[in-house]
Amino acid sequence: MLQRCLKTLYPTVLICSLLSEVRPLTCHQCSATSGECKLKPVICQSGTSTCRTTSIITILDGQSTQVIRNSCGSCSDPLSINTGAVILSEKSSCCDSDLCNDRIVVGKAKMHRNPIQIR
């Protein structure tokens, strides 16, 4: 009797697990300068498994501008570029649960002494 119940139960559980709905990730989205980001929730595209917060610092003629972007997507490695006229630094932070990217500051991106030179 028990064996017959298990034979019926196993395929039922397997079919239910295969048919279960995969719920998409929800992340905060915004883009603004200097921490003035107004976060709004967005549903990420299917297959997206992380939310990110990215800080981009640009220095042009001694003036520094920081842009914060919150969105769906994966993190990238920190980036620092110095062309002589423009310095650009980017740093990301990622997380993997709904609305986890609620920070509007990633932290100071490092300006390297010997960054990539573009000529």
Which tens digit of pLDDT belongs to each residue from 40-77? 999 999 999 999 999 999 999 989 998 999 999 999 89
Cα–Cα distance for residue pair 5/9, rounded to 1 Å = 6
- Please check the confidence at residue 25 and state whether its pLDDT lies above 80: yes
For residue 117, name the pLDDT band (cuts at 50, 70, 90): very low
pLDDT in tens, 76-114: 899 999 999 999 999 999 999 999 998 776 555 455 444
Q: What are phi and psi of 90, to 5 degrees?
A: -130, 135
What pLDDT does residue 13 have?
Answer: 46
What pLDDT does residue 99 have?
Answer: 96
Dihedral angle sign, alpha carbons of residues 38, 41, 47, 51: positive
- Domain ranges in the chain are 23-107
3 state SS of 68: strand
What pLDDT does residue 23 have?
Answer: 83
Cα–Cα distance for residue pair 117/112, rounded to 1 Å = 11
Residue among 9, 77, 18, 73 nearest 44 (CA): 73
What pLDDT does residue 19 have?
Answer: 40
Contact (CB, 8 A) for 28 and 102: yes
For the domain with range 23-107, which CATH number is right: 1.10.287.180, 3.30.1360.40, 3.20.20.70, 2.10.60.10?
Answer: 2.10.60.10
pTM, two decimals, is: 0.67
What pLDDT does residue 103 have?
Answer: 79
Q: What is the DSSP letter of 24?
A: P
Going from the C-alpha of 69 to that of each of 47, 80, 86, the distances in angstroms are 20, 17, 20
